[in-house]
A and B are shown apart, each in its own frame.
Chain A
Amino acid sequence: MDFKKETRILYCWIAQIGNLLLRSLWRLIHVIINLCYLTLGIAKAFESYLISWGILRRYKSLQVAKLRYLAIVVESKDACQTSKIIELLQWLADVGVKHVCLYDMEGILKKSKDFILEELDGAILFGEAYENNEIPDQAQMTLEFASFSDGKEAVAKAANVLFMKYLKSGATDQNQEEAIFTESQMAEALKTVGSGGPEPDLLLVYGPARCHLGFPAWRMRYTEIIHMGPLKSMKYGSLIKAIYKFTMVRQNYGK
């Protein structure tokens, strides 16, 4: 009996030591990964300074015309830093990006929109210029402000618009297997509820993780998503690099 008890105690000790070893190994791996990311961050920062100073020649000529619509996703707690947002928008204006959608989950940017538009000379709200589902070709910069309510909640509102039209059309006796709504009807319904807008070609995420934080799903089919890191450490060179990489992408759109 003593032998069995001692064996049990021994196994218990072995299990605890084993667990401790596993935990230590796991923490060590994560420390190494964090160091790797830190090193990578330093290298990227250095590269972005080289790009800003014009030393890396290939980034000098950007085909910005390919970037018709840009979205920027910002972590909501960083969205209060309106000076950073304005600086970012001024960089984009300097590069020649005309149409920008600013998104944060909680709608902080929406609350600051008047201030942001005031600070940016000549910028107007996108909705004023967006007609016939086409991105307008104009000299002024247009800004759109979006939040989580423009995503799933807007789809629910649009669904109600479609449902009402469906009921009023009297086509409720049709074969229930057939599609009754089309993508263009949905796009119109989203516009009706104030959440229509073009699909961004590129989406830049300023936050701790590469995650789009609920950007309107309907508008993101083929959008390139690039993670830029935290807003507080944004760099002009990194922005140029992200736009340059986008202009080099070739999409098949499923073909």
Chain B
Amino acid sequence: MEARIILQIQIPWNPNHKFSRRPSLYLPRFFIRASSSTSQKPRSYRGPKPSKNLVADFISRNDDLARSLPIYVGGASLLAVLFNRTVSGIAPVADASSSQSRADLLALGLAVTNLLTGLVWLSIRPKSITPVNPEGVECKVVVSGLPTTIVSELLWAWESFKVATCCKSLVIVYNGICLIQIGMVAESTEDKKGVIVNTDKLMQGSVYQGVMKSKAQSYLANLSLYPGRSELPFLPANTQAVILQPLGDKGIAVIGGNTIRGFTSSDQAWISSIGEKLDATLGRYFIDSAAEVSPEKD
């Protein structure tokens, strides 16, 4: 199946890909949204954009209203049943003798179910916590001498954390060197610039030692409650949550966030996976560079 692509600028027709003509998707941009090639499936009437689920959108936007909706429905139906009884002159007697009462009882039962479901939904509402803007200065300090692949990997890790979580500060220390300090940093009182990480002091502190000993990620969900806070002076003073991720047994990544309990368990799993990857990459680099240096020493 061939089709011609109508484009505003010259783009060579690529014979490797099959397109089908979708004039309805012709956009006044540089290219057609040629994901119309997915229109080969019979659901092509939906187009490449999956259909919007109006119910889901409405509920996500009006969470509180949706939670209390069953209560209103249940309460209103309860009143409606009683009203129906009084208006039609039948005594409000709740027995199963006449079919009217049976119908009323069933409706009441359903109303009560709705009421209770609404109450359950209200009770399991997650508490929304507002993020706190970190006080400090923006900073991007990467130690010099690292190859570009390593630097791009570290910056990729920072971008991932920044986009996907509430992370606002990142410090990676490996092999006794602070490799990168990026994001919001506490403002030093002397020179209005960021506080530089004192690597030796960090590595001797109890926070670092504890994480190295346990070899596991440490999640400080509410940093203000944590006494070891003073060992992380480079983080902005109002950092709300911190994840300490050990990178193998040679390094640590300190990830500061702006919301209490802002890192979900999925975030924690991802951060530990990325930590393992960084450890593998950095470990290999440092072993290689050590191997280059040591023949000279001999």
A and B form one complex = no
Query: Which B residues lie at the A interface, using CB under 8 A?
Result: none
